Each structure stands twice: as structure tokens, then as C-alpha cells.
Amino acid sequence: MGEIADPPFAIDNAAGRGPLLIVCDHASNRIPPAYGDLGLTPEARADHIAWDPGALSVSRHLSRIVDAPLFRGTVSRLVADVNREADSPTLIPAVSETTPIPGNADVGADERSARLAAVHVPYHAALATFVEEALARRAGAPPPAVVAIHSFTPVYMGTPRDFDAGVLFEGANRFGQRVLDALAAVPGIAVRANAPYSGEGEVYYTLRRHAAARGLPNVMIEIRNDLLHTEAEAEAWAMRLAAAIRAARPADD
């Protein structure tokens, strides 16, 4: 195994001119034929363990609203999670939440290297080019902010998550704090900082590597996936995010 016919990434609205770059790491639950079905049922492959349900719809609506390019993954995170360090123990999970992944149970060093070469390495090489080309297009203008869109399951390991969205960021991140403040001011939704995960942890890998390392404004948005069942719901969240992002980008940034 290890070879896949199609690239593990795609770009939508590549010519977008808005001051924003959108990244959706877990946009797809596609398992390339080289990996079979990883021993999973169709129901498991459609579940949140394989991708972030609703995140791509939000990302595409946000891309349209703010005219921003969107970089998205096209391979399930169960094959290789692109939002993890190459040496992370969760890069190729043998168990996700409580679901065993039979096709990942006996992945040795050679197979791990093959999956990195097929998915992780080309994804991040292409994302680096995507960011650099955006910076070149905006030479002389304020740099773009990078926003990563994810979704989370309402119940994890039996514990309910009783909030609607999380805004994740590392350290003294003024942009992230401003996005948090703007979203928290929206009536009728419950928003938390650095939830359901910490922005200081491994879930911030993509933004840490491609945005924070370049000094670009950056933030991760997590939306509860049961709030994203329809395109109308996804569009409503995209509109909220667009307004929050605009509020977070004063002229002096």
C-alpha cells in the first residue's frame, strides 16, 4: 500500500482576493482504494472519526462570502492525519474514540513511511506553496490571516459537550482573541476559548507550521457537528465567522 492515484489535497477559489486563507484539513472521509475500507463499516466511515462532518460546507460558504482561497484535504484522517506531527502516535490511529480501526492495527515503520509519503508530505508541501503564493500576490498589502475550520462531535467518550463552537489559538494571539470576542458577542450561541481542545496542543499543528511560523494571523474554529446538518446551517455559521473575522482585522494589523 501507500500509493494513491489522486493528490491528497485540493484548492477551491484559488483566485480569491480576500485577505484570508482558509484551511480545512479534515474535509473528506475518502479512503483511497489502495487502503480498502480499513476494515470499517459504511457507518463508521461516515462518522466523525473519519473526518469533520460539516466543516467543508462551512469552509466553502466562507470562501464565497469573503472571496478567499480554500485549501482542503481529500483523504480521510484515518489513513494519515495531516493535522499531526509526522511522529505523532495519533497520526495513524489504531482506535479512534472507541472504534477499532482494523486496517491500522498492524501498521509498521515501512507502511507508516509510505502513508506519510503518499498523504502527509505532499499535503504540507502543497500547503506551503499555497501560503507562499498568497503572500506573493499580496506583496505590499497586509498579510492574509489563516483560518482553519474543523467540527467536533457533541458527545465524546460519553461526555456531552454543551457548547456550540470553540475558538482555538496559541499564546498571545491578538487575532485569535479578537475572533473569540466577536463570536462570543453573537446572541444565541455558546462559544468557548480553546475548546474542545487546547490550541497549545497537537491539534494546532497545521496552523503552527504554516501560519504562526510565518508570523501570520491565525485561528482555529471548531463547530459542533450536529449544528451543521444542512447547507443553510453551514452558511449561517460561515456568515457568523465572516463577521467575526472582519471585526478581528483592524487596519493596523
- For residue 2, being part of any structural domain is answered with no
- For residue 3, being part of any structural domain is answered with no
The tally of domains found in the chain comes to 1
- For residue 180, being part of any structural domain is answered with yes
Closest by Cα among 85, 7, 34, 55 to 165:
55
Which stretches does DSSP call E strand in the chain?
9-12, 20-24, 70-73, 95-96, 99-100, 145-152, 155-156, 159-160, 165-168, 191-193, 218-224
pLDDT tops 70 at residue 3: no
Task: Let me know: does 149 contact 207? Beta carbons within 8 Å.
Answer: no
Tell me: the pLDDT tens digits for 159-178? 999 999 999 999 889 999 99
- Structural domain including 97 reads 9-248
CATH number of the CATH domain containing 131: 3.40.630.40
Question: In whole angstroms, what is the distance from residue 19 CA to residue 134 CA?
Answer: 9
Q: Is the pTM of this model over 0.85?
A: yes
- For residue 253, being part of any structural domain is answered with no
3-state secondary structure of 70: strand
Tell me: the pLDDT tens digits for 126-140? 999 999 999 999 888
- The C-alpha cell at 153 is 462531535
Question: In whole angstroms, what is the distance from residue 71 CA to residue 79 CA?
Answer: 19
Question: In whole angstroms, what is the distance from residue 40 CA to residue 203 CA?
Answer: 24
Amino acid at 199: G
- For residue 1, being part of any structural domain is answered with no
Question: In whole angstroms, what is the distance from residue 45 CA to residue 38 CA?
Answer: 9
137-146, 200-209, 211-220 — which is least confidently predicted? 137-146
pLDDT of residue 181: 97
